[in-house]
């Protein structure tokens, strides 16, 4: 088996982190959440505190609007991500051995179906940008409401092992707790909202600038199957990853948009004929896991890029084109990871901003503090259970071959 360079770099990076933390152990603080399963190691500094003060004083009205909007988007996002994880958990619990993975750790070198491979350098750059944007937003909004920022710095999120680099700002919790609930919610929601806002901006850049330019550089030749969902029609019919789809029910499909248009017409239980470059496949569409009135084939596709256009190579040079595609992929990961982390951070589990928002939100309806903490704690436990359920297919797929030997 070939060595995965991204795994090697991740291991080296983890060892360096452990060494740095050991050498600076007197300056570290460990926040324990279900330790040693979940924890955060924090290295305190004063980096960025002056900039937070500066922007809070310069743009108070804009930041107040930003904070109010972040509360609305935050609660909407919380409901959305809770519904999606709840629905995914329900599907997994119905048949955990064949269900698709609901969640997976996004680490460099891990290949997630339907996504490009995440390299170590794309990962580390993206995590750094995400953390700085997230924490700086927390700090600026906290200073808007005259909450003292005690420190900022670098952190490592540990899931058993210290793996995920992060950043943090440490507001004075006593001061923050005395502020209005709107102020507290604004501070909590500012981080994930800023990530979602950045993701939205990058999406526009990708859609209207980078993607059209990228398409002008490559030769495309139809669409290729990139992933099959286990126990769904395409998988059961014998379709293979790597085949090129040419027709659906006699209709020629030459690009992803054409494929999507034809698939959206399919109803549950409808007979479907797929023609690929290898064979014809007859199958019956299943019910879509999330939309009962739609058919589902259980197949993911992507454009088949067969190389760079000669005209583009002559104009820009092969090296410059490859560098552009590296940065284009970086921009994509900045969009995707900011979007996903921004939403997951709104899911109310212990250390997330969503958990703090849920506590403050519940306080509008539950005045008794002991009862409030009990309800909030039960909500946390339920959400942790849902998240663990979403990792269940990954665990089963990993251990099942071992147990069957």
Contact 156, 164 (CB under 8 A): yes
Contact 296, 308 (CB under 8 A): no
Q: Is the dihedral of CA 337, 307, 205, 126 positive or negative?
A: positive
298 lies in the same domain as 161: no
> Which CATH number does the domain housing residue 270 bear?
2.30.42.10
The reported pLDDT for the residue numbered 69 is 97
Tens of pLDDT along the chain (405 residues)?
345 788 888 888 888 887 877 888 787 888 776 676 677 888 888 889 999 999 999 999 999 999 999 999 999 999 999 999 999 999 889 888 777 777 787 888 776 766 788 899 999 999 999 999 999 999 999 999 999 999 888 888 777 666 677 788 889 999 999 999 999 999 999 999 999 999 999 999 999 999 899 988 988 778 888 888 877 888 888 888 889 999 999 999 888 888 888 998 999 999 999 999 988 999 999 888 777 788 999 888 888 766 888 899 999 999 999 999 999 999 999 999 999 999 999 999 888 999 999 999 999 999 999 999 999 999 999 999 999 999 888 777 766 555 454
Q: Is residue 385 part of a domain?
A: yes
The reported pLDDT for the residue numbered 281 is 92
Last residue of a domain, one of 308, 326, 354: 308
CA atoms within 13 A of residue 211's CA, in its CB half-sphere:
9
The reported pLDDT for the residue numbered 1 is 37
Tokens 């291991």 -> residue: 11
The reported pLDDT for the residue numbered 402 is 53
pTM for the whole structure? 0.83
Contact 353, 346 (CB under 8 A): yes
Contact 289, 101 (CB under 8 A): no
279 lies in the same domain as 366: no
Start-to-end CA span in the chain (Å) = 20
Strand partners of residue 171: 149
38 lies in the same domain as 145: yes
Q: Is residue 328 part of a domain?
A: no
The reported pLDDT for the residue numbered 242 is 85
257 lies in the same domain as 205: no
144 lies in the same domain as 13: yes
94 lies in the same domain as 189: yes
Structural domains of the chain, count: 2
Q: Is residue 315 part of a domain?
A: no
Q: Is residue 33 part of a domain?
A: yes
278 lies in the same domain as 169: no
CA atoms within 13 A of residue 263's CA, in its CB half-sphere:
19
Q: Output Rg (C-alpha) for the chain, integer angstroms.
A: 24
Contact 162, 21 (CB under 8 A): yes
Q: Is residue 327 part of a domain?
A: no
205 lies in the same domain as 224: no
Q: Is residue 241 part of a domain?
A: yes
Determine the structural domain holding residue 234 and report its residue range. 220-308
Q: Is residue 239 part of a domain?
A: yes
153 lies in the same domain as 47: yes
Contact 107, 10 (CB under 8 A): yes
Q: Is residue 324 part of a domain?
A: no
202 lies in the same domain as 224: no
235 lies in the same domain as 304: yes
193 lies in the same domain as 228: no
């Amino acid at each position: 088996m070939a060595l995965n360079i991204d795994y090697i770099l991740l291991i080296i990076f983890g060892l360096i982190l452990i060494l740095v933390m050991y050498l600076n152990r007197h300056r570290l603080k460990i926040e324990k959440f279900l330790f040693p399963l979940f924890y955060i190691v924090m290295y305190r500094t004063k980096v960025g505190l002056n900039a937070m003060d500066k922007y809070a004083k310069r743009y108070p009205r804009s930041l107040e609007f930003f904070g109010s909007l972040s509360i609305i988007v935050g609660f909407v996002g919380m409901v959305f991500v809770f519904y999606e994880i709840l629905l995914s958990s329900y599907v997994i619990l119905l048949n955990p051995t064949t269900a698709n993975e609901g969640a997976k750790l996004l680490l460099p070198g891990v290949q997630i179906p339907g996504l490009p491979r995440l390299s170590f350098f794309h990962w580390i750059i993206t995590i750094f940008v995400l953390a700085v944007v997230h924490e700086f937003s927390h700090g600026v909004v906290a200073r808007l409401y005259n909450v003292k920022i005690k420190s900022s710095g670098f952190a490592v999120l540990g899931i058993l092992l210290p793996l995920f680099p992060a950043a943090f700002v440490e507001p004075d919790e006593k001061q923050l707790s005395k502020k209005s609930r709107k102020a507290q919610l604004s501070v909590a929601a500012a981080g994930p909202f800023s990530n979602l806002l950045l993701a939205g901006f990058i999406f526009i850049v990708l859609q209207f600038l980078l993607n059209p330019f990228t398409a002008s550089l490559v030769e495309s030749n139809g669409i290729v199957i990139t992933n099959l969902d286990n126990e769904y029609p395409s998988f059961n019919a014998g379709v293979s990853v790597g085949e090129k789809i040419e027709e659906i029910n006699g209709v020629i499909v030459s690009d992803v948009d054409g494929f999507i248009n034809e698939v959206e017409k399919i109803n549950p239980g409808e007979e479907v004929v797929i023609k690929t470059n290898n064979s014809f496949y007859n199958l019956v569409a299943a019910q879509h896991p999330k939309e009962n009135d739609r058919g589902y084939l259980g197949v993911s596709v992507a454009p088949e890029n067969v190389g760079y256009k000669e005209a583009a190579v002559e104009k820009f040079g092969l090296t410059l084109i490859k560098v552009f595609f590296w940065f284009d992929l970086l921009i994509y990961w900045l969009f995707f990871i900011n979007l996903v982390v921004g939403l997951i951070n709104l899911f109310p589990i212990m250390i997330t901003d969503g958990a703090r928002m849920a506590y403050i939100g519940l306080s509008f309806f539950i005045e008794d503090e002991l009862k409030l903490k009990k309800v909030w704690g039960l909500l946390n436990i339920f959400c942790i259970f849902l998240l663990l359920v979403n990792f269940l297919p990954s665990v089963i797929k990993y251990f099942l071959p071992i147990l069957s030997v």
